[in-house]
Amino acid sequence: AQSVTQLGSHVSVSEGALVLLRCNYSSSVPPYLFWYVQYPNQGLQLLLKYTTGATLVKGINGFEAEFKKSETSFHLTKPSAHMSDAAEYFCAVSSQNTGNQFYFGTGTSLTVIP
């Protein structure tokens, strides 16, 4: 079975500060890991994904995430928050064994304080 846990349903950061959104996964097989962003009243947009290869993955809008197998983590970071980063962020896991299914986390709402 696969699952994702996102610690912190709400995260607030000041503009210009580091953004850190946590994601831990559970998977009995090598996972494929994803971060999606959802702006208000919009659909999900892929930020970045890890499938194989380099464990530090860079995505759009300056975000990056690092796959750490020993910690079963895939935390999302951005060095300097921008007001436009305010959104809901979802971590998701999949694998070769789960076909086309994603397993999403419950999401983290990011607020950026001016």
Partner 1 sequence: EPEVTQTPSHQVTQMGQEVILRCVPISNHLYFYWYRQILGQKVEFLVSFYNNEISEKSEIFDDQFSVERPDGSNFTLKIRSTKLEDSAMYFCASSEYGGIINQPQHFGDGTRLSIL
Please state the closest distance from residue 56 (CB atom) to partner 1, in A.
18
The angle subtended at Cα 20 by Cα 79 and Cα 81, nearest 5°, is 40
Please state the closest distance from residue 72 (CB atom) to partner 1, in A.
18
Which residues contact partner 1 (rule: CB under 8 A)? 32, 34, 41-46, 49, 51, 90, 92, 94-96, 98-107
Q: Within 10 A of 10 (CB to CB), how many other CB atoms are there?
A: 10
Please state the closest distance from residue 26 (CB atom) to partner 1, in A.
14
Q: Which is nearer to partner 1, 61 or 80 (CB)?
A: 61
- The encoded tokens of residue 77 equal 């970071």
Q: Which is nearer to partner 1, 52 or 84 (CB)?
A: 52
Are the C-beta atoms of residues 18 and 77 closer than 8 Å to each other?
yes
Are the C-beta atoms of residues 40 and 47 closer than 8 Å to each other?
no
